[in-house]
Amino acid sequence: MIIEARGLTRLYRVGVETIHALRGVDLDLEANEMVAVMGSSGSGKSTLMNILGCLDRPTAGTYRLDGRLVSAMGATELANVRNERIGFVFQSFELLPRLSALANVELPLIYARGGGWWGTRRRKARRVLERVGLADRMHHRPNQLSGGQKQRVAIARALLSNPAILMADEPTGNLDSTTTNEIMSLFAELHAEGQTIVIVTHENDVAACCRRVLRLRDGQVESDLPIAEDPASPQYWSQRTGQAIASGGGVSAEGPSA
Amino acid sequence: MTLLSPIFWVQAVALAISQIWANKVRSMLTALGIIVGVASVTAVIAALSGLKSRVLTEFESFGANRLLIFPDRPDNAPRNLYPWEEVRLKERELVELSQSCPSLRTLTPITSVGASVQYADTLLDGSTITGIWPAWHEAENRAVIAGRPFNGIDERERRQVCLINEEAAGELKLPRDPVGEHILLGGRRFLVIGVVETVQQAMFGMNTSSAEIFVPFSVAAAMQDRTFFFRIVAMVKSPDVAEEAKSEVRFVLRRMRGLRGSDPDTFAVAAIDQFIEQFKALAAGITAVAGGIVGVSLLVGGIGIMNIMLVAVSERTREIGLRKAVGATPLAILSQFLLEAVTLCLLGGIVGLLCGQFLAFVISSIPNAGLEEASIPGWAVAMAFGFSGGVGVLFGMFPAIKASRLDPIEALRHE
């Protein structure tokens, strides 16, 4: 079990008000799963993502990552866990503008315990950049790269330390549909190679590439289903559409907003 | 606490320099306080060091490294309590002083005998003949311009030899080259072996140039009573050890005279070191004032550094968020920003030192100012670096702590 979360609760105090961002979420994630976390804004999906990514700690509940109880760790320990076990991919890429693609990818190794000297780090960074198909763009700066290329660099950076989980927060939010497909097929390849992936998204197309869909609503798990049974899935809709056509009705009333 | 890898430090220094370079103008302006502070204090210290070496040289030529030792009764003491025989310097004391005072380079006794001087038909009555050791040449810094100086054999063998100055040669109507002539001193024949320079001793406005005749100290002693008077002129190894030399002389003389505890000295040791002390106090005062000025300047510079680092933290909030997300510990972020502040300050210190060096050069080339030797001493360079680095740490700490405490989630959301 990679992720074992029990009763994750997260409260924010804004002035005198208390906001319940998460109200007791349970989640188990096996190695090599590919999960989409969906939900409308305010549903708590970002909060869940931050906690699972060790950027934040739950107010209550326990979270074990790879068997380690990270919900009780301090800031420094969490930083080390992020460094060694988690790879992040963000919507806006978050590449450092003055560094080349290669240097951006190397960044986590600066903070690693035993990151190795230049040669080692360069070699690791080259390998992951080649893996994401950017062998010919290693020395380009972010402003010389297209959106899709930037996100590939970010994915390479996330893959650098062989993370237990790849966390992607709206990874295609800033990309057009063609590029979105490229990035999603890259995720699919990585998944096929055994990578555990969690993608936070509100796009059904993106969720459709995953194997499992976790839907949140008001800080609670609304549904946690294999893709075939989730409304994000084309099979689901073809089934429903088939039934609807058979019954002579329309689908628009329940149709996905995307 | 997790130790940061050497890679991290190399990278952090490179990053700090690249950040400073990317904001050249801003960094320059920020470091201006440090630059001005370091430049002004090093220039002042350089000027002072020039002044000091000039003043010390001047004192030296006036005899700052000379000690005068002479018999002296304690103030207000009745004469009969301290008979002359006890107070006068004795030859065995002279020998002991010359052997057991490590801070003295050399010393010579000086005694004066009144006698008539005659050459051929010229007779000078009531002249003063001075008895000296060969070391006198060095102690009084007077070389011979013709013939030879006194040597140890003249002294030991009590040779009937003498040195004269040009003034005396003129008054006695000696030939142009008087070496080898014989003159009568108190009725005894002396061989003139050399001529010493006449020194225009314009010190303190007195012109003391006059006829001088010198004989070996042992000869002059033999011409007087057993209880004759002499004083000692000693040269100190350097003006810095003047105090030690004084103490050594006092120690030797008090021991030899059997003076104990609260007994007053029955002799005096004098030097022109009071002036040196005064000058040193003055120099220290000026240094302290300059230090105060530079302190204020560094404070202002430091506040500038803090300000710019706060700006940098806020500008680079997203970057900090990302670095934290990929695993930078709070300590790593703190170290990085602190290092950047320190690097900025040290660069300011280097530029300031270069400016100070230039100012020192300008000062040293001012004509007639007598500050030719103005230069920045090593300790001032070290101090300039120490202080600018210290300012970096002190004023960089708050922004660095602020950066290290940023919440990665909020930092990543920062616009």
Q: What is the pLDDT of residues A53-80, one digit of tens each?
A: 999 999 999 999 988 999 889 999 999 9
User: For the whole prediction, is pTM greater than 0.80?
Assistant: no
Question: Based on the domain organization, do B123 and B252 belong to the same domain?
Answer: yes
pLDDT confidence of B81, banded at 50, 70, 90?
Answer: confident
Kindly give, in sequence order, each residue whose CB lies less than 8 Å from that of residue B148, ignoring residues fewer than 6 positions away.
B193, B194
Please check whether residue B363 is in contact with residue B371, taking contact to mean a CB–CB distance below 8 angstroms: yes
Stretch (H or E) spanning B125:
strand B122-132
Q: Give the pLDDT score at B211.
A: 81
Q: What percent of chain B has pLDDT over 70?
A: 93
Does position A167 have pLDDT exceeding 80, yes or no?
yes
Does position B90 have pLDDT exceeding 60, yes or no?
yes
Q: Compare all CA atoms of chain A with the CA of B316 and give the residue at the minimum distance.
A: A96
Question: Based on the domain organization, do B193 and B266 belong to the same domain?
Answer: yes
Does position A6 have pLDDT exceeding 60, yes or no?
yes
Residue A120 lies in domain: 31-58+74-246
Please check whether residue B335 is in contact with residue B74, taking contact to mean a CB–CB distance below 8 angstroms: no
For the ranges A52-61, A248-257, B64-73, B119-128, the one whose mean pLDDT is highest:
A52-61
Quick check: B329 and A50 CB within 8 A?
no
- Per the structure block, which two tokens stand in for B126? 């009531």
Instruction: For residue A251, tell me if it sits in a domain.
Output: no
pLDDT confidence of B257, banded at 50, 70, 90?
Answer: confident
Indicate if the alpha-carbon torsion angle B199, B200, B202, B205 is positive or negative: positive
Return mean pLDDT, chain B. 84
Question: Based on the domain organization, do B255 and B390 belong to the same domain?
Answer: no
What is the total count of domains within chain A?
A: 1
For residue A16, the SS3 value is coil
- Between CA A7 and CA B361 the distance in angstroms is 74
| CATH code of residue A142 | 3.40.50.300
Using one digit for the tens of pLDDT, what is the confidence trace for B308-323?
Answer: 999 999 999 999 999 9
Question: Based on the domain organization, do B232 and B292 belong to the same domain?
Answer: no
Q: Give the pLDDT score at B370.
A: 67
Q: Give the pLDDT score at B192.
A: 92
Instruction: For residue A255, tell me if it sits in a domain.
Output: no
Residues of chain B contacting A, Cβ within 8 Å: 1-3, 5, 7-8, 11, 18, 22, 318-319, 321-332, 408-409, 412
Instruction: For residue A14, tell me if it sits in a domain.
Output: no
Instruction: For residue A158, tell me if it sits in a domain.
Output: yes
Single out the residue in B271, B295, B328 at which a domain terminates. Answer: B271
- Per the structure block, which two tokens stand in for B34? 């440090």
Indicate if the alpha-carbon torsion angle B331, B334, B335, B336 is positive or negative: positive
Using one digit for the tens of pLDDT, what is the confidence trace for B8-66?
Answer: 888 888 888 888 888 889 899 888 888 988 898 888 888 888 887 777 776 666 566 77
DSSP assignment of B66-79: EEEEEE-PPTT--G
Which whole-number Å values give the CA distances from B294 to A94, B34, B37, B38, B383, in the listed order?
43, 9, 5, 7, 12
Mean pLDDT of A221-246: 77
Among all chains, which residue has been given the structure tokens 């690693």?
A112
**Which residues on A lie below 8 Å from B317 (Cβ)?**
none
Helices (H), A60-176: 75-85, 101-110, 118-131, 147-159
- Interface A–B counts its CB contacts (< 8 A) at 73
Q: Give the pLDDT score at B308.
A: 92
Question: A82-86, B267-271, B367-371, B389-393: which range is least confident on average?
Answer: B367-371
Question: Based on the domain organization, do B254 and B357 belong to the same domain?
Answer: no
Single out the residue in B271, B304, B339 at which a domain terminates. Answer: B271
What is the total count of domains within chain B?
A: 2
Mean pLDDT of B167-175: 86
Taking alpha carbons only, the member of A219, A166, A179 closest to residue A9 is A219
Instruction: For residue A204, tell me if it sits in a domain.
Output: yes
Q: Give the pLDDT score at B204.
A: 38
Question: Based on the domain organization, do B214 and B317 belong to the same domain?
Answer: no
Does position B3 have pLDDT exceeding 70, yes or no?
no
Taking alpha carbons only, the member of B50, B42, B49, B47 closest to residue B294 is B42
Question: Based on the domain organization, do B119 and B200 belong to the same domain?
Answer: yes
Question: Based on the domain organization, do B99 and B116 belong to the same domain?
Answer: yes
Instruction: For residue B39, tell me if it sits in a domain.
Output: yes
* Nearest-by-Cβ selection for A83 from B1, B322, B327: B327
Question: Based on the domain organization, do B185 and B123 belong to the same domain?
Answer: yes
The alpha carbon of residue A161 is apart from the nearest alpha carbon of chain B, in Å, by 10
Does position A2 have pLDDT exceeding 70, yes or no?
yes
Instruction: For residue A179, tell me if it sits in a domain.
Output: yes
According to DSSP, the residues that pair with B212 across neighbouring strands are none
**Which residues on B lie below 8 Å from A106 (Cβ)?**
none
Q: Give the pLDDT score at A229.
A: 83
Return mean pLDDT, chain A. 88
Instruction: For residue B1, tell me if it sits in a domain.
Output: no
Kindly give, in sequence order, each residue whose CB lies less than 8 Å from that of residue A203, ignoring residues fewer than 6 positions away.
A172, A180, A258
Residue B239 lies in domain: 66-271
- Per the structure block, which two tokens stand in for B89? 């310097």
pLDDT confidence of B377, banded at 50, 70, 90?
Answer: confident
Instruction: For residue B91, tell me if it sits in a domain.
Output: yes
* Nearest-by-Cβ selection for A82 from B11, B325, B330: B325
Q: Give the pLDDT score at B236.
A: 85
- Per the structure block, which two tokens stand in for A170? 């709206």
Please check whether residue A29 is in contact with residue A198, taking contact to mean a CB–CB distance below 8 angstroms: yes
Question: Based on the domain organization, do B84 and B202 belong to the same domain?
Answer: yes
Neighbours of B268 (CB within 10 A): 14
Q: Compare all CA atoms of chain B with the CA of A54 and give the residue at the minimum distance.
A: B325
Q: Compare all CA atoms of chain A with the CA of B324 and give the residue at the minimum distance.
A: A79
Mean pLDDT of A165-169: 94
Instruction: For residue B259, tell me if it sits in a domain.
Output: yes
Please check whether residue B313 is in contact with residue B399, taking contact to mean a CB–CB distance below 8 angstroms: yes
* Nearest-by-Cβ selection for B5 from A79, A98, A113: A113
pLDDT confidence of B206, banded at 50, 70, 90?
Answer: very low
**Which residues on B lie below 8 Å from A76 (Cβ)?**
1-2, 329-331
Instruction: For residue A64, tell me if it sits in a domain.
Output: no
- Between CA B348 and CA B380 the distance in angstroms is 15
Question: A177-186, A226-235, B42-51, B94-103: which range is least confident on average?
Answer: A226-235
* Nearest-by-Cβ selection for A108 from B3, B326, B409: B326
Single out the residue in B222, B250, B271 at which a domain terminates. Answer: B271
Among all chains, which residue has been given the structure tokens 């330390």?
A161
Question: Based on the domain organization, do B267 and B294 belong to the same domain?
Answer: no
- ipTM for the predicted complex: 0.88
Question: Based on the domain organization, do B122 and B154 belong to the same domain?
Answer: yes
Does position A245 have pLDDT exceeding 70, yes or no?
no
Q: Give the pLDDT score at B205.
A: 36
Which whole-number Å values give the CA distances from A118 to A98, A124, B10, B40, B56, in the listed order?
19, 10, 11, 42, 56
DSSP assignment of B279-305: HHHHHHHHHHHHHHHHHHHHHHHHHHH
Q: Give the pLDDT score at A51.
A: 93
* Nearest-by-Cβ selection for A80 from B321, B329, B409: B329
Instruction: For residue A26, tell me if it sits in a domain.
Output: no
